Structure 1
Amino acid sequence: MKTIRWGILGAGRISEQFVSDLQRVEGCAVTAVAARSLKSAQDFAERHNIAQALEGYQALYQHADVDIIYIATPHTCHFEQASAALNAGKHVLCEKPMTVSLQQSKQLADIAKANNCYLMEGMWTWFLPAIRQAQDWIAQGRIGAIKHIKADFGYPIEYHPRRREYDAELAGGSLFEMGIYPVALAWLLTGRAPNARQVMARHADNGVADDIIWQQDYGDCYASLATSFRCKQQNWAYIIGDEGYIAIPDFWRAHRAELYHLDEMVEHFEEHREGFGFQHQATAVCEDLRAGLIESQRVSLADSHAFQAEIADINAIIAEQQ
């Protein structure tokens, strides 16, 4: 089995979780980590037994012992960093949202294709066994035709205009930070944009939307979605059909899925996993690279374009309301 050699760009919390889970993936190794601060990179490397710590990112792009770069930095850095990595001939797994506009998403896909490099947005939720089990139940007709999709994702985050999550110059607001999960789940289940959408939003003092509810009409079903920095939301997903429904607690990091007919739970799936769950995504990426693919068969670049188109439309409606 060919060993896939990973470079880590960014030494923050998500990179910590991702690298921890990479230890559970057969046939991969982390060979280098890069951060703006050399000390941050060195501390990260020491914690995870990584051979090389790099100050700045250029050396990582050019690193001879790196096959793929995992990018986990603020949203507005993704396009520049992923472009540089791809142009250096490195494959890229970039945290969500991969970009902050549809134009950037399409341009990044073109760069990947021109360099014959793999590019995937890190929508790790789609790889979780509980989510895949829910899809299997749907495909088997266990809930009939989908009529409603309900999903929300929110945690309270204290406001400060220069805090990354609220900073307008860094694409702040709950839609990019957390709302990407309900957006992506609705797309996974429907595979299409809605016929109509209604949006309600509240705004922080600096104008970014920090509490959003949106409803989508697909003609044959509805979706009710929400995200917030103002409160802890339930963070469950419900997929409701005309013959039953599926409940997924904490759907964005799902361990469990429950299948109901009326009020009775008739089947239950539980993943007793170790780690955070990033290993499922990482395993799939490594398999894709060994197969010589330059695009994921699970989270395609067309899917990433769709996420951006959905977010842009929601933001456009919010802007019209201000």
Structure 2
Amino acid sequence: MSNKTVRWGLLGAGRITNTFAKDMPLVNNSVISAVAARSLNNAQAFAEKYAIEKAYEGYDALYADPDIDVIYISTPHTLHYEQTRKALLAGKHVLCEKPFVVSPEQGEELTQLAKQKGLFLMEAMWTWFLPAIQKAQQWVREGRIGELKEIQADFGFPIEYGPEKREWNVELAGGCTFDMGIYPVALNRLFNHDEPLNWQITGKRAENGADKTIKAILDYGDRLSILGSSFEYKLPNYAFILGTEGYVAIPDFWCASSAKLFNGDECIETFVDERKGTGFEFQIQHTVDSILAECSESQVVSHEDSLAFQRDIQRILTAF
């Protein structure tokens, strides 16, 4: 099957879909065959920009298109469940933007449906595929920082308040935890697979009830994790993986292009990736390779990983 081309349909034509389309030329055995948007004009403009053969108004035609193998979903969080469900019922593989859904129950239903249908389904946690993040994992696995003791990760920057804005709109699962907190939550889960013994969570909410700043301390007994996100102010957006003999520092970890390994105060190794694209190309290639290998689940971002993200987010949001 290695010479087969996987044909993509894009569901949504917004900013993040542009990033996806820009990185597609860097992916092997892969082509975008169609794009669907609420507005036909938007779909046609997107199709013309990226030389995509077909443009659809609305999404039903995309689900029904027999020439589409996999659908990439990049709409607001609250639409992901229904759109992923329809795509799977139509026999399409799915790569769905994070957060994959807005409750653990939705996630359970969709992962079960994908398994029943024998279809590949993955949350687009692109951070996990970045070379700098994978290098950090390698350093930790090799014992370069000694015994893992603490994860620190935060992601936030100010977004002007407006209850009608997508980021703040509670009807669209607005708030910093789903929008930005998913990144530190996922980074923590990459290194801590077990469940915390204790949580300490504090947060602030906007006038409409949307969460605007959160801090969470997770106690694993022999380890701690300190996670944060905010719509109120700029956070460092760093990840630190701390051990008994050293630590790893990753600037802008959510889109990481570099990582540094420290022993005490001394930087003993620096990794800088040489990617040609934005960084989406790695998760796209993984999806394509998984589909061609007839996998129903990713070996990197598993269904259980995505369900764990949802459980952690719900724990945070219900604590304050």
Q: Which residue, 117, 120, 139 being the options, matches 2:119? A: 117
Q: Which residue, 254, 258, 269 being the options, matches 2:271? A: 269
2:137 is equivalent to residue 135 of structure 1: yes
Q: Deviations over 1:18-59 (max 9, x none)?
A: 111111101100000000000110111111110010000000
Q: Which residue of 2 aligns with 1:102?
A: 104
Tell me the CA shift for residue 239 of structure 1.
0.2
Q: Which residue of 2 aligns with 1:199?
A: 201
Q: Which residue of 1 aligns with 2:152?
A: 150
Tell me the CA shift for residue 214 of structure 1.
0.8
Q: Which residue of 2 aligns with 1:75?
A: 77
Q: Confirm or deny: 8 A CA contact 1:213 1:225 kept in the other structure.
A: yes
Distance in 2 between residues matched to 1:50 and 1:165, nearest whole Å: 29
2:26 is equivalent to residue 12 of structure 1: no
Q: Which residue, 240, 243, 263 being the options, matches 2:245? A: 243
Q: Which residue, 219, 234, 237 being the options, matches 2:236? A: 234
Q: Which residue of 1 aligns with 2:188?
A: 186
Aligned pair count reads: 318
| Structure 1 residue ranges without an equivalent (≥5) | none
Q: Deviations over 1:280-321 (max 9, x none)?
A: 001111110111101000000000110011111111112xxx
Q: Which residue of 1 aligns with 2:318?
A: 316
Q: Confirm or deny: 8 A CA contact 1:125 1:252 kept in the other structure.
A: yes
Tell me the CA shift for residue 111 of structure 1.
1.2
Q: Confirm or deny: 8 A CA contact 1:118 1:295 kept in the other structure.
A: yes
Q: Confirm or deny: 8 A CA contact 1:193 1:310 kept in the other structure.
A: no
Q: Deviations over 1:190-229 (max 9, x none)?
A: 1122111111111111111111111110111101110001
Q: Which residue of 1 aligns with 2:282?
A: 280
Distance in 1 between residues matched to 2:231 and 2:251, nearest whole Å: 19
Q: Could you tell me which amino acid in structure 2 is paired with residue 189 of structure 1? A: F
Tell me the CA shift for residue 276 of structure 1.
1.0
TM-score normalised according to structure 1 size:
0.98
Tell me the CA shift for residue 272 of structure 1.
2.2
Distance in 2 between residues matched to 1:107 and 1:97, nearest whole Å: 15
Tell me the CA shift for residue 273 of structure 1.
1.7
**Percent identity among equivalent residues?**
51
Q: Which residue of 1 aligns with 2:65?
A: 63
Distance in 2 between residues matched to 1:82 and 1:22, nearest whole Å: 21
Distance in 1 between residues matched to 2:160 and 2:262, nearest whole Å: 37
Distance in 2 between residues matched to 1:194 and 1:182, nearest whole Å: 15
Distance in 2 between residues matched to 1:275 and 1:267, nearest whole Å: 24
| Structure 2 residue ranges without an equivalent (≥5) | none
Q: Confirm or deny: 8 A CA contact 1:125 1:253 kept in the other structure.
A: yes
Distance in 2 between residues matched to 1:247 and 1:257, nearest whole Å: 6
Q: Which moved more, 1:204-213 or 1:31-40?
A: 204-213
Distance in 2 between residues matched to 1:161 and 1:193, nearest whole Å: 34
Deviation >3 Å, runs of 4+: none
Q: Could you tell me which amino acid in structure 2 is paired with residue 204 of structure 1? A: A
SS of residue matched to 2:319: helix
Distance in 1 between residues matched to 2:281 and 2:243, nearest whole Å: 31
Q: Confirm or deny: 8 A CA contact 1:187 1:193 kept in the other structure.
A: no
TM-score normalised according to structure 2 size:
0.98
Q: Which residue of 2 aligns with 1:31?
A: 33
Q: Which residue of 2 aligns with 1:213?
A: 215
Distance in 1 between residues matched to 2:40 and 2:222, nearest whole Å: 54
Q: Could you tell me which amino acid in structure 2 is paired with residue 266 of structure 1? A: I
Q: Which residue of 1 aligns with 2:161?
A: 159
